[in-house]
Amino acid sequence: MDHHIDPLLCIIPPHMLKNIAEKGTDAQKRAALAALSASARIREQRTAFIKAMVVKVPAAISGKHRAVYSANNLTSLPGVLMRDEGAPPSADVAVNEAYDGSGAMYDLYMDVYQRNSLDGNGLRLNSTVHYDKNYDNAFWNGEQMVYGDGDGQFFNRFTISIDVIGHELTHGVTQYTSNLDYRNQPGALNESFSDIFGSLVKQRTKGQTADQADWLIGAELLTMNVRGVALRSMKAPGTAYNDPVLGKDPQPAHMKDYVTTLEDNGGVHINSGIPNHAFYVMAVEMGGFAWEKAGRIWYVAARDDFNNTTNFQSAANLTYKVAGELYGVGSIEQMAVAKGWSEVGITVGVQPQPQPQPDGCLAAPVAFIRSLFSGKS
Amino acid sequence: MKIDFVRSGGFAGLRLAVNVDTQDLPDAEAALLEKLIRDSGFFDLAEHIKSPSGGADRFEYRLTVSEGGRSHTVTVSEAAVPEGLRPLIDRLTEMAKGL
Ligand SMILES: [Zn+2]
């Protein structure tokens, strides 16, 4: 079974746990805890739940607060503090890139979308550079951004591309908003969101309009040894690289080429090419700075209307709806959204197909959910 | 003993894979892999090992070991690799990179 997911994890997705922890009545909290206690198998989720309840103390800090750490080529996090908010530049270029990049990203969310950090409440932006040795990756661990130095042969340090920083930070925004499942279509949308806002922070930093931007992800990341221009291309998914060692960019640009795979959580870094390209088309169609209209439509739709199971068709319908609300029904912007989705093979307005449920979710007992909210267990 | 190893995901989304038949390896190399598999308690590991902490862009490892009449596949997130399995994954990652 390749898609096994614990039934309890299906019933109580993390955003809901958090909601209950923050807003639930005492009875609801008790019921949720009691239900979770029922099985030793879900000990980890219970721990996360308890943590969520404890960590609900609101961060008093408001505004931009960045902290950059170094793991000194080990793997413990966050590592040693190298530069705190307001401190002068470090001698370490990766530290400064993480600091400046997360600052530019904070500004994009704050200045354009009036969002105060990842959680909307001034959460401190923690980054760690020099993670592990020759580490060819960057990630969001649920609490902070982490960057490897790259192997030097194929990859440079991961802070070198500001869109990589924007990508990781946006995973944090997604976690605090739609909380899209990191699997299959919701996972590919989660990835796409990170690429989109990663590209937008790069475009805003460079002052580029949609037609001036390169729409590449990780352009500076690849060394001279790699035959390719970047890791991904939103303008032309599937064309970013074609290298004897790394292989060929596997991203599709259209639903007819959607990749079904068990790897990479169901191809989340592959099928993100489809919504990535839809966004590119609509942004160019709208013209001007992509973060102003296209970015706003996607941000607002994800913040207010997406949930953890939103798939491509739902995303198309919801971005279309939000474009109508923000710019008017039948507006150029709303037509552009329809065109973007249409070019990747998705027609707005079509009823989303029920998503195939991962194993275990079908068995979710409705009574359990009811008991959670009635306070009985 | 046959080992199929795939690393997928990560920010780059690059696939890294190697298929090994220990019969084709030098004795010392084969013995090392067999020891790492034994030490990890591979056949007793759960089929899916996920991290409870969420996050994104971690690597995903998928290992299948076939030996005698038995075969077992483990899919594990980088964030949840058991200590005992780490040396095997590190070695297979090197082999997949041609090291
Ligand atoms: Zn990502």
Summarize pLDDT for A290-330 with one digit per residue, the tens.
999 999 999 999 999 999 999 999 999 999 999 999 999 99
Summarize pLDDT for A78-137 with one digit per residue, the tens.
999 999 999 999 999 999 999 999 999 999 999 999 999 999 999 999 999 999 999 999
Residue-level pLDDT at A368: 43
Residue A69 pLDDT > 60: yes
Residue-level pLDDT at A48: 53
Categorize the per-residue pLDDT at B31 as very low, low, confident or very high, splitting at 50, 70 and 90: very high
Residue A23 pLDDT > 80: no
Query: What residues in B contact A154, CB-CB < 8 Å?
Result: none
Residue A338 C-beta-side C-alpha neighbours within 13 Å: 13
Summarize pLDDT for B39-89 with one digit per residue, the tens.
999 999 999 998 888 899 999 999 999 998 999 999 999 999 999 999 999
Which helix (H) or strand (E) segment holds residue B27: the answer is helix B27-40
Categorize the per-residue pLDDT at A365 as very low, low, confident or very high, splitting at 50, 70 and 90: very low
Summarize pLDDT for A228-284 with one digit per residue, the tens.
999 999 999 999 999 998 999 999 999 999 999 999 999 999 999 999 999 999 999
In the predicted model, what is the mean pLDDT of residues B26-50? 95
Structure-block tokens of residue A105: 């990203």
d(CA A135, CA A22): 37
With an 8 Å Cβ cutoff, are A4 and B8 in contact?
Answer: no
How far does the centroid of ligand 1 lie from the alpha carbon of residue A168, in Å? 6
User: What's the mean per-residue pLDDT of chain A?
Assistant: 85
pTM: 0.82
Q: Is A163 left (phi over 0), alpha (psi -120 to 50) or beta?
A: alpha
Q: How far apart, in Å, are the Cα atoms of A134 and each of A142, A145, B90?
A: 22, 17, 13
Burial zone of A357 (CB within 10 Å; 0-12 exposed, 13-18 middle, 19+ buried)? middle
Closest residue on chain A to B74 (Cα): A2
Q: Is A179 left (phi over 0), alpha (psi -120 to 50) or beta?
A: left
Residue A17 pLDDT > 60: no
Which of A:152-191 have CB within 8 Å of B?
Answer: 155, 158, 164, 167-168, 171, 174-175, 182, 190-191
Residue-level pLDDT at A355: 60
d(CA A258, CA A260): 7
Residue A59 pLDDT > 70: no
d(CA A227, CA B97): 17
Enumerate domains of chain A plus CATH numbers.
Answer: 9-179 (3.10.170.10), 184-343 (1.10.390.10)
Query: What residues in B contact A48, CB-CB < 8 Å?
Result: 52-53
Categorize the per-residue pLDDT at B27 as very low, low, confident or very high, splitting at 50, 70 and 90: very high
Residue A72 pLDDT > 90: yes
The CA distance from B74 to the nearest CA of chain A, in Å, is: 10
Residue A196 pLDDT > 50: yes
Closest residue on chain A to B6 (Cα): A263
Pairing of strands A125-131, A145-148: parallel
Share of chain A above pLDDT 70, in %: 77
Structure-block tokens of residue A104: 């530019």
The CA distance from B60 to the nearest CA of chain A, in Å, is: 6
